[in-house]
Amino acid sequence: MTPAMIPERAREIAAGFDLRALPPDFYANPYPVYALLRETEPVKRMPDGSYFLTRYADLVNVYRDAHAFSSDKKVEFTPKYGAGSALLEHHTTSLVFNDPPLHTRVRKLIMGALTRRAIADMEPGLITLVDSLLDRIAAQGGGDLIEDFSSAIPVEIIGNLLGVPHADRGPLRAWSLAILGALEPKLTAEQEALGNRSVSEFTAYLTTLVADRRQHPGDPEHDVLTRLIQGEAAGEKLSETELLQNCVFILNAGHETTTNLIGNALVALQEWPAEKAALLARMQRLAPDHDALEATLSAAVDEFLRFESSNQLGNRRALRACQVGGVPLEEGALVTLCIGAANRDPAQFANPDVLDLTRENNRHLAFGFGIHQCAGLSLARLEGRIAISRFLARFPGYRLTASPVRGGRARFRGFLHAAFAVA
């Protein structure tokens, strides 16, 4: 999007841009605002003194330099949530908001149960799950893309990874939405209270689950919870707090972002009917060639991730005085990495505001970059590929029956509801 094409309303929002005071109409389409900031103030000083980065190259440079930019959020989150709060304990103990050595220990344990073979072994069960959801949708003649389909898939997959009994999975989505919602730049008192209560309820449940798993361990090659409990054979085990909070993190991160991937993709295909038709044609043509079909679907998933990144914002803290994009940053400076803006940077992506499901060399940042790149990216891609392709094959003529409802969040971009009908 060139500056000449940016609507006047986007110019107004960009002129007074403040993550803590975003107007309601920003959430429907933030990309014109991001485009203007990227062109005019790519390293923007915010009213609170932090910096907002929108260029792809600048984000990559920050991601790469883990020695200069910390992911530890204790300094940033203590005044936000309050000392001793459940939200503070969770968000400063989880994998994503920590530096080595805790980050290294937890990531190694998780990755040990997310090997290529382990993920491949999940595919048959994933197909069975998706098909059962599609059967229910067919019987109803439609439903809600989020509640009846996209959110149900990662809850089951991550629930299986941690061995959460099916009867206990009901509260997981609500807990996840509340805890991740508390990461928004500005919180209401109600959001903060709900977030704290959700962490407390979640960890109380997990305490019981962990105690049972200690008595009845699962297969550590596939059961992430057992692997986290036991630790590496000759390695250091996690403390009880580290264990509980990272189980919360795994369930939340694996659930919300994948829900958004699937929901965003199926809505985007309604808005780009030519891309939908072309994808369906390629799927039909390549059906006999499993490898070619998988490559085509994988490229489509990566383009959905680039075009509407499930996670739009990341954060770092400068450990020393440095420069980003030619702008000096002081020691201790807080930096927001706008993934949504970087993934539409024309310096990296041709025609970035166009959904192109055959895009090549799509090095998007939806999963981050560097040592903090998403540990579950291969699993998320598998879920997206199976869910989207089987939905399209079953219901090629699906249509939205009402305007989809966005979640109203800047950090996590997805829908709360998207009613649809099938032919």
Supply φ then ψ for residue 78, to 5 degrees. Answer: -60, -50
Name which of 201, 299, 289 is nearest 244 in CA terms: 201
Domains: count for the chain: 1
pLDDT tens, position by position, 363-377:
999 999 998 888 889
Exposed/middle/buried for 327, CB within 10 Å: 0-12, 13-18, 19+? middle
- In sequence order, the β-bridge partners of residue 338 are 313
C-alpha 420/C-alpha 172 separation (Å) is: 24
Domain that holds residue 23: 3-421
Q: What is the pLDDT of residues 217-274, one digit of tens each?
A: 998 888 888 888 888 655 667 889 988 998 998 888 888 899 999 999 999 999 999 9
Task: Mention every residue, 6+ apart, whose C-beta is less than 8 A from residue 72.
Answer: 92, 97, 98, 99, 317
The backbone region for 344, taken as left when phi is positive above 0, alpha when psi lies in -120 to 50, beta otherwise, is: alpha
Residue 385 near residue 395 (C-beta atoms within 8 A): no
Enter the tokens of residue 105: 């220990």
Q: What's 213's domain CATH number? A: 1.10.630.10
Mean pLDDT by 10 residues, the chain (423 residues): 72 94 94 96 96 98 95 93 95 89 82 81 94 98 97 92 90 91 91 96 95 92 86 72 90 88 98 98 96 97 97 96 96 97 98 97 95 89 97 98 93 96 90
Contact 297, 422 (CB under 8 A): no
Does the reported pTM lie above 0.95?
Answer: no
Quote the pLDDT of residue 358. 97
pLDDT for res 325: 95
User: Which of 374, 415, 422, 419 has its CA nearest to residue 395?
Assistant: 422
